[in-house]
Amino acid sequence: MDGALSQNEINALLNDAAGSDASKNDGSLTEQEIDAIGEISNISMGTAATTLFSLVNRKVEISTPVVSFATWDDVVENYEKPCVFIRIAYTVGLDGSNILVLKENDVKIITDLMMGGDGTNTDGEIGELHLSAISEAMNQMMGSAATSLSSMLNKTIDISPPSADLIDLTETIDESQIDEFLSGTFVKISFKMEIGDLVDSEIMQLYPFSFAKEMCQSITNNMKADSKSTAEENTKSQQPSAATQPQVSQPQMQQQAQPMMNPMMNQQMGNQQMMNQQFMNQQQVNVQPAQFQSFTGDLGGNFPQENIDLIMDVPLEVTVELGRTSRSIKEILEFTPGTIIELDKIAGEPIDVLVNGKYVAKGEVVVIEESFGIRITEIVK
């Protein structure tokens, strides 16, 4: 019959439809899922920005995220080269990983600020010190973001220590150097990041579709659980309980039972109530100001003397301090054998003696056989 489809053609159409549905589930997101991913990223990166502020001691602002789809070619074409890829793997609560992409100069500025600099020492190439520092910064930032994510999803979320790599996008990248999901289409979340007047740049988070869908599914499940719990609470509140049942008060019970009593008994009860009322009205209340015994200075002799022997065996830590100084992280990292650290004490000045951290005496160093000692010269009052 003309226009009719054969069984083979019907099977082919069904297979194509099933394949397109699978592709849609694996390689795309609905509008609701895109909004959920944007909200998750907005809250997570807001928390991460607060953590970064504490590390660099500069005002950090991160804009509202923009969620889109991208491929590796899009990243190579539109992003600065080289750049630093920071891989964050989730170990508890979520199964997957995402990649944070930072520009090379931004990493230099952040690490210089972390080491006590002013953010202008950006000469030279990125080395292991820069990568270690930015990995630690991302560990704290994404750790705080995972805590916020835990509250949103109502379950524990944890990450492994992030790893950072310098990737030159101008060169051909070996697929073994990057995650498998970057070989296809993935979710790209773009932020604008400002750090004081030093950084005004864009950072990216790259998610595989499976990881993005898992987060959206967790959000949906959490919302359903909350809705179910709210519905159950409303149902319970609408059901009458024993405490809300109408109850008859004692006077009402007496009033209902009163017609059943003997008239003579009613009259006797009424007379008794009148007598009680008259007695209460005639009773006078005697109110007098409170009087207290005056205090004197001789009360101390009435208490037993404290027995200090009870604490004589308590051990205390005695510390002798030659002096102190402050150094930045950058200067500490430059320490080598032979480095001289200048203290705040002048040569010949008495050294401090501390007991449990409290300054109690001054003294001078002496040598007793083969050990150092301290001779107390002054007790600090």
Q: Which residues contact 329 (CB under 8 A, 6 or more apart)?
A: 114, 115, 116
Residue burial 50-75, b: 16+ Cβ < 10 Å; e: rest: ebbeebbebebebeebebeebebeeb
Residues 343 and 211 in one domain: no
Among 132-136, 163-167, 173-177, 190-194, the minimum mean pLDDT is found in 173-177
Q: Does pLDDT of 151 surpass 90? A: no
- What's the structural domain count of the chain? 2
- Whether 95 is covered by a domain: the verdict is yes
Residues 328 and 217 in one domain: no
What confidence category does residue 259 fall into, taking pLDDT thresholds of 50, 70 and 90? very low
- Whether 263 is covered by a domain: the verdict is no
- Whether 72 is covered by a domain: the verdict is yes
- Whether 156 is covered by a domain: the verdict is yes
Domain span at residue 361? 315-379
Choose among 262, 291, 111: nearest CA to 195. Answer: 111
- Whether 15 is covered by a domain: the verdict is no
Residue range 308-320: average pLDDT?
Answer: 81
User: What is the percentage of the chain residues whose pLDDT exceeds 90?
Assistant: 9
- Whether 268 is covered by a domain: the verdict is no
- Where residue 101 sits, what CATH number does that domain have? 3.40.1550.10
Rounded distance between C-alpha atoms, residue 168 and residue 232, angstroms: 56
- The pLDDT tens digits for 32-48 are 888 888 888 888 888 88
pTM (global) more than 0.75: no
Residue range 170-174: average pLDDT?
Answer: 65
Q: Which of 225, 258, 289 is the last residue of a domain?
A: 225
29 within 8 A of 37, measured Cβ to Cβ: yes
Choose among 38, 39, 62: nearest CA to 141. Answer: 62
Residues 44 and 179 in one domain: yes
Tell me the pLDDT of the chain averaged across its residues.
Answer: 77
